[in-house]
Amino acid sequence: MKLEDKISVVIGGGSGIGAAIVSRFAAEGSTVYATSRKAIEAAHPERVVPIVADAGQASSVRDVYERVRKESGRIDVLVLNAGISEYAELGDISEDIYDRIFGLNVRSLLFAAQDALNLMQEGGSIVLVGSIADAIGPKGYGVYSASKSAVRSFARTWANELAPKGIRVNVVSPGPTDTAMMAATTDEVRAALTAMIPLGRLGRPEEVASAALFLASSESSFTTGTELCVDGGATQV
């Protein structure tokens, strides 16, 4: 029960990695407010508060926080997971593609973190979900990769800024993981990504959730500003 009696908010908790984080946090004793654009069927309904919200709209996220304030009064752990990816090589990148990806992955993440600050407690933890794409340069995912580089940069700055308040900020960066987002890529991309993983397989969402749990819990109490790569060794060896 590593998060017993903690109040967690997971923005983007409806499927894939986000859903796995919600499930693991609830299993570890946290009350979890989990947002998605669609209704969520939680594995631990007694501890999960599903909320239909649009992570791309700041007003929608603020409404989530207002509910948390009224019902629980604080946020101990904030996970910002909402994000999108689209395939487009340099010559095919449109303004719309750029705006969609940076709008959700960067702009919305920034203001979701900012708007949560008045509910965050000393000893709290913010976990940003990045990607090893920012380091490996996958063909056709330049905009997505750049957006995740911005997430990594935010973590360093916010770790500095929030340390005096006792709030830690870290990034969990999955490698290729068996989710719907990965399933939407081309066979060529999936094969190329799997081939670069020393462990020889895609990751599982629950493996990323375990890393997020470490960063969220007191077991990482002396860890801030870091990036924890869950990638089967792809960027490490």
Which class for 172: exposed (0-12), middle (13-18), buried (19 or more C-beta within 10 A)? buried
pLDDT of res. 45: 84
The verdict on whether 65 is a catalytic residue reads no
Q: What is the mean pLDDT of residues 101-112?
A: 98
Residues 19-66 pLDDT 10s: 999 999 999 999 999 999 987 777 778 999 999 999 999 999 999 999
- Measured at the CA of 217, the angle between CA 216 and CA 223, to 5 degrees, comes to 75
CA gyration radius, the chain: 17
Residues 114-166 pLDDT 10s: 999 999 999 999 999 999 999 999 889 999 999 999 999 999 999 999 999 99
Which class for 146: exposed (0-12), middle (13-18), buried (19 or more C-beta within 10 A)? middle
pLDDT of res. 126: 98
Question: With respect to CATH, is domain 7-230 assigned 3.40.50.720?
Answer: yes
Please check the confidence at residue 223 and state whether its pLDDT lies above 80. yes
pLDDT of res. 118: 97
Residues 184-193 pLDDT 10s: 777 887 888 8
Q: What's 163's DSSP letter?
A: G
Which class for 117: exposed (0-12), middle (13-18), buried (19 or more C-beta within 10 A)? middle
Q: What is the mean pLDDT of residues 164-187?
A: 91
For residue 96, CA distances in Å to 88, 92, 101, 103 come to 11, 11, 9, 10
pLDDT of res. 138: 87
Sequence spans of domains, the chain: 7-230
Active-site residue identified among 33, 65, 141, 144: 144
Dist CA 131 CA 149 (whole Å): 8
Dist CA 38 CA 15 (whole Å): 10
DSSP run (H or E) holding 169: strand 168-174
**Partners of residue 11 on adjacent β-strands:** 35, 80
pLDDT band at 89 (very low <50, low <70, confident <90, very high): very high
